[in-house]
Amino acid sequence: MYRVCFVCTGNICRSPMAALVFGALVERAGLAGRVAVDSGGTAGMFAGYTADTRAIAVLEAAGYPSDHTARQLRPRWLRTRDLLVALDVGHERFLRRMVDRHGGGEVALLRSFDPALPDGSGLGVPDPYTGGQAAFVDCLAMVEPACRGLLQDVRRRLDQAVAVS
């Protein structure tokens, strides 16, 4: 099982949106038995809450599932996830420090998988929390192509693993 964990700050906006979109893509691709998807926050202030209502509305309007309960990322998760996907550069730095300290999977920025973006430019997904509904629509518009690119990357990794075994 290849395990992907999406990480943002409070785990109520960006990371659950990315995890739910990616999970739906994994399901549609017939890879649900080979890829596990979850998410967590760098902070625990919203642990136990559902996703932000604006995130839920945007996900549902686009035909994605919206069931989510926020959780705080735990160091013990790091070694059980193959890929830790940060939603912005601050989360990426946080994850790299945690992996350096505790060990764990590979760390990448979500938008680094968006094939339409030039390498290294605009790779963060802005936090929509303090914005209006349009900020959540914009967030989803950034998450979707990156998740499609990530799916291609994960598929390649799975194919390589099969070829090696």
Complete DSSP assignment for 63-102: T-----B--B--GGGGGG-SEEEESSHHHHHHHHHHHHHH
Q: Is 79 a catalytic residue?
A: no
Q: Considering the candidates 3, 127, 155, 157, report the single residue annotated as catalytic.
A: 127
Q: Considering the candidates 14, 71, 81, 111, report the single residue annotated as catalytic.
A: 14
Please report, to the nearest 10 degrees, the dihedral formed by the alpha carbons of residues 85, 88, 89, 94 taken in order: -60
Q: Is 14 a catalytic residue?
A: yes
Q: Is 147 a catalytic residue?
A: no
Q: Considering the candidates 8, 13, 139, 147, report the single residue annotated as catalytic.
A: 8
Residues labelled catalytic = 8, 14, 127
